Chain A
């Protein structure tokens, strides 16, 4: 009796009949589908537009037809997607974005994870001051212009030409909020795990890599996914600091920066722009779908006490 209660609660009363359950399920699906459409319509629109020629796009603008693909002329879709890959060399920028994202994710987890571990588990002088600084920097959103950051990267650190890739990676590596997330999550890991490892002769760094990180998959996944989305969607900063590659060179631009540049080239059609946006959104979706279970756990266990 009690076990059954566990399974049904909190969403259903104990005495629901199977019929009621089926009706509930049907209503749930209907409501959910309507809600989903409200949230998905940009994607539907992008997909539909990516199949259209410029004049078909102009004809459909403003009417419901803008959400429907141009069935009469599906060859246009193939042309749009084909052009995106052949004419503008999108795949090279995609490789860049993946590379930047991978490096940022690894460094971000290492740097912020280590800091979060120290803040959560070790005792050292100045800790209270640093905790205060972390909360301060999260709670007080200082409005900064991008100008000083640009000067720091370009003039003070002198990161130019190929080295300016570091200007994309390094600022994305540090995130005070991620330090805070790690700190909260690690704080909830019982001390016994660590002590067991120490008895086996592990040093602090060993404990971090062999015990703490493997126990923290949810938070690591959360940080990784948001790092990825951040790097993948950023366009303003990279296009400011990266040099534009001359012909024959491998370009340094990540995908979104390249897309904004490509969009400013005269002659690209709206359909092609949408096709390129669809292509570049796919990786984010795949990664989000794969990792969403962990994200919920990650935020949940960290506790997010501010």
Chain B
């Protein structure tokens, strides 16, 4: 008994001390200055932090653009200085660095961030409102912009989109002709089901929709366009209401379509991650990053581009497709003069930089002005066209991480659960989180 008493005593004492520790620590540094100036050379230093490893192809591309910037702006006495903090698998390393730099007051002038974080970072004032800094014609030239509450907080580096990769050999053998389904004339939900049915009748697993990939962002990123295509929504435009959106009838239609595919045996949770690459599955829903893999890694099944192709997302009420990007944003740090940071931001998101970076990474340029020489009908062309005509961002909300979990939980339970019940449960969870963040 005495020990338990001792234990509680120490715990209470600890809590009291911890409380006083928090009470003493309010208020950070609020002093602002015009910008960091190197006294020896008179250069204004603009600091920038990237989320990739310096030695990766993407890191090397950024590095070259930074060097070019420093040469070009030598006379204007602006110098960019870059740090690279690789965003490793599963680790919150990059974001932790960002947040702690914010506390320390050492936040770089420009940082990179993942597009779904826009709302949260804007709301917490980590990002600076750049609406007035960026000329309107430049803004118009982007496929997507990082806006929150009508203000601009970031410009994308490069874009990504997804679609249905398909095994041309299998399609040829079964006499399935999909050449009519282009971005300008996408297939409908029914036509999609029809193709699946013919594959299934021939004994081929029709489509890997990655409904098993609910552990991270993969399933959300690939599947949310179906809900928009069915006319559904996830949240209200301000991102603070989920009830009535996440569980609306149209949203249920979208999820219902995916469920009908599972019920009909067209897709399942049981498809192995490598089954498509091994020639066992007809179609595979994935992002553009699968293109280099198919080109290089699986020569036994996919010898050349004659053996595989890419189809757009099917449409129903609307046409909708996935978009995703990392973006550059100017931070709300103690440097009150943002003009030098603006120059670097415009430089790195210029058509020239956009082209240089996407040439290295194989992603889609973020700006329309970039001349791409994709051959009509090639997978890259399909992705770009789709982005232009039907690309739609994931919902902009401060509660984005919770949205992502809720979406995943619906997908994971879709095989056995009732769609409306699942949506009602998750809508109330999401709504609670939104109320929490609002209040």
Which residues from chain A sit less than 8 Å from chain B, CB to CB?
Answer: 54-55, 57-59, 61-62, 132, 136, 140, 147, 150-151, 154-155, 236, 239-240, 243-244, 246-247, 257, 260-261, 263-267, 269
Residue among B87, B272, B277, B292 with max Cβ neighbours from chain A (10 Å):
B277
Asked whether B104 lies within 8 Å of A155 as measured between CB atoms, the reply is yes
- Name A244's contact: one of B84, B272, B277, B297 (CB within 8 Å): B84
Over the window 30-61 of chain B, the binary record of Cβ atoms lying under 8 Å from chain A Cβ atoms (1 yes, 0 no) is 00000000000000000000000111110000
- Name B103's contact: one of A62, A155, A265 (CB within 8 Å): A155
What size tier do the contact residues of chain B reach? Answer: 20 to 34
Q: Can you show 11 pairs from A to B with CB atoms below 8 A apart?
A: A54-B297, A55-B298, A57-B274, A59-B300, A154-B100, A239-B88, A239-B91, A243-B83, A244-B83, A260-B88, A260-B91
Asked whether B298 lies within 8 Å of A58 as measured between CB atoms, the reply is yes
Q: B337 to chain A: which residues have CB within 8 Å?
A: none
B305 is an interface residue with CB less than 8 A from chain A: no
Asked whether B84 lies within 8 Å of A54 as measured between CB atoms, the reply is no
Asked whether A244 lies within 8 Å of B53 as measured between CB atoms, the reply is yes
Asked whether B89 lies within 8 Å of A263 as measured between CB atoms, the reply is yes
Q: In the assembled complex, how far is the CB of residue A300 from the closest CB belonging to chain B, in whole angstroms?
A: 27
Q: In the assembled complex, how far is the CB of residue B258 from the closest CB belonging to chain A, in whole angstroms?
A: 25
- Besides the known contacts A61-B278, A240-B91, A247-B54, 17 further A-B residue pairs in the complex with CB atoms under 8 A apart: A55-B277, A55-B300, A58-B277, A58-B298, A59-B278, A59-B300, A132-B6, A140-B7, A239-B88, A240-B96, A240-B97, A243-B83, A244-B54, A247-B55, A260-B89, A264-B87, A265-B55
Complex CA distance for A57 and B293, rounded to whole angstroms: 14
B93 is an interface residue with CB less than 8 A from chain A: yes
Asked whether B56 lies within 8 Å of A265 as measured between CB atoms, the reply is yes
With contacts A151-B103, A239-B91, A244-B84 taken as known, whether A61 is within 8 angstroms of B272 at the C-beta atoms is yes
Complex CA distance for A26 and B96, rounded to whole angstroms: 56
Complex CA distance for A264 and B6, rounded to whole angstroms: 48
Which residues from chain B sit less than 8 Å from chain A, CB to CB?
Answer: 6-7, 10, 53-57, 83-89, 91, 93, 96-97, 100, 103-104, 272-274, 277-278, 289, 292, 297-301
Q: In the assembled complex, how far is the CB of residue B241 from the closest CB belonging to chain A, in whole angstroms?
A: 31
**Residue in B closest to A257 when the chains form the complex, CB atoms:** B88
**Residue in A closest to B25 when the chains form the complex, CB atoms:** A151
Asked whether B56 lies within 8 Å of A244 as measured between CB atoms, the reply is no
**Main SS of chain A's interface residues?**
helix
Asked whether A54 lies within 8 Å of B298 as measured between CB atoms, the reply is yes
Q: In the assembled complex, how far is the CB of residue A70 from the closest CB belonging to chain B, in whole angstroms?
A: 13
Q: In the assembled complex, how far is the CB of residue A189 from the closest CB belonging to chain B, in whole angstroms?
A: 28
Q: B85 to chain A: which residues have CB within 8 Å?
A: 243-244
Q: B100 to chain A: which residues have CB within 8 Å?
A: 150-151, 154-155
Q: A263 to chain B: which residues have CB within 8 Å?
A: 88-89
Complex CA distance for A209 and B154, rounded to whole angstroms: 61
Q: B298 to chain A: which residues have CB within 8 Å?
A: 54-55, 58
Q: B89 to chain A: which residues have CB within 8 Å?
A: 260, 263-264
**Residue in A closest to B361 when the chains form the complex, CB atoms:** A266
Q: B297 to chain A: which residues have CB within 8 Å?
A: 54-55, 269
**Residue in A closest to B300 when the chains form the complex, CB atoms:** A55
Complex CA distance for A271 and B250, rounded to whole angstroms: 45
- Name A240's contact: one of B53, B55, B93 (CB within 8 Å): B93
**Residue in B closest to A147 when the chains form the complex, CB atoms:** B96
With contacts A140-B7, A151-B103, A243-B83 taken as known, whether A265 is within 8 angstroms of B53 at the C-beta atoms is yes
Asked whether A58 lies within 8 Å of B278 as measured between CB atoms, the reply is yes
Complex CA distance for A264 and B100, rounded to whole angstroms: 23
Q: B86 to chain A: which residues have CB within 8 Å?
A: 239, 244, 261, 264
Asked whether A150 lies within 8 Å of B96 as measured between CB atoms, the reply is yes
Complex CA distance for A151 and B103, rounded to whole angstroms: 9
Asked whether B93 lies within 8 Å of A239 as measured between CB atoms, the reply is yes
Complex CA distance for A296 and B220, rounded to whole angstroms: 49
Q: A61 to chain B: which residues have CB within 8 Å?
A: 272-274, 278
Q: A154 to chain B: which residues have CB within 8 Å?
A: 100, 104
Asked whether A62 lies within 8 Å of B272 as measured between CB atoms, the reply is yes
Complex CA distance for A244 and B54, rounded to whole angstroms: 9
Q: In the assembled complex, how far is the CB of residue A267 from the closest CB belonging to chain B, in whole angstroms?
A: 8
Q: A236 to chain B: which residues have CB within 8 Å?
A: 91, 93
With contacts A54-B297, A58-B274, A239-B93 taken as known, whether A136 is within 8 angstroms of B87 at the C-beta atoms is no
Complex CA distance for A151 and B99, rounded to whole angstroms: 11
Complex CA distance for A140 and B272, rounded to whole angstroms: 43
Q: In the assembled complex, how far is the CB of residue A36 from the closest CB belonging to chain B, in whole angstroms?
A: 29
Asked whether A136 lies within 8 Å of B299 as measured between CB atoms, the reply is no
Q: In the assembled complex, how far is the CB of residue B104 from the closest CB belonging to chain A, in whole angstroms?
A: 6
Complex CA distance for A265 and B58, rounded to whole angstroms: 9
Q: A62 to chain B: which residues have CB within 8 Å?
A: 272
Complex CA distance for A247 and B55, rounded to whole angstroms: 8
Complex CA distance for A263 and B86, rounded to whole angstroms: 11
Q: A260 to chain B: which residues have CB within 8 Å?
A: 88-89, 91
Complex CA distance for A240 and B86, rounded to whole angstroms: 10
Q: B6 to chain A: which residues have CB within 8 Å?
A: 132, 136
Q: B10 to chain A: which residues have CB within 8 Å?
A: 136
Complex CA distance for A113 and B299, rounded to whole angstroms: 59
Asked whether A264 lies within 8 Å of B53 as measured between CB atoms, the reply is yes
Q: In the assembled complex, how far is the CB of residue A283 from the closest CB belonging to chain B, in whole angstroms?
A: 22
Asked whether B56 lies within 8 Å of A266 as measured between CB atoms, the reply is yes
Q: A244 to chain B: which residues have CB within 8 Å?
A: 53-54, 83-86
Q: In the assembled complex, how far is the CB of residue A114 from the closest CB belonging to chain B, in whole angstroms?
A: 25
Q: In the assembled complex, how far is the CB of residue B70 from the closest CB belonging to chain A, in whole angstroms?
A: 15
Q: In the assembled complex, how far is the CB of residue A152 from the closest CB belonging to chain B, in whole angstroms?
A: 11
Complex CA distance for A239 and B95, rounded to whole angstroms: 12
Complex CA distance for A109 and B53, rounded to whole angstroms: 36
Asked whether A55 lies within 8 Å of B299 as measured between CB atoms, the reply is yes
**Residue in A closest to B273 when the chains form the complex, CB atoms:** A61
Nearest 9 interchain pairs by C-beta: A58-B274, A260-B88, A54-B297, A261-B86, A61-B274, A265-B56, A55-B298, A58-B277, A55-B300
**Residue in B closest to A253 when the chains form the complex, CB atoms:** B86
Asked whether A266 lies within 8 Å of B277 as measured between CB atoms, the reply is no
Residue among A59, A140, A243 with max Cβ neighbours from chain B (10 Å):
A59
Complex CA distance for A160 and B15, rounded to whole angstroms: 30
Complex CA distance for A269 and B299, rounded to whole angstroms: 14
Complex CA distance for A58 and B277, rounded to whole angstroms: 7
Complex CA distance for A264 and B277, rounded to whole angstroms: 21
Q: In the assembled complex, how far is the CB of residue B390 from the closest CB belonging to chain A, in whole angstroms?
A: 27
**Residue in B closest to A239 when the chains form the complex, CB atoms:** B93
Q: In the assembled complex, how far is the CB of residue A270 from the closest CB belonging to chain B, in whole angstroms?
A: 10
Q: A261 to chain B: which residues have CB within 8 Å?
A: 53, 86, 88
Q: B299 to chain A: which residues have CB within 8 Å?
A: 55
Complex CA distance for A247 and B67, rounded to whole angstroms: 14
**Residue in B closest to A87 when the chains form the complex, CB atoms:** B55
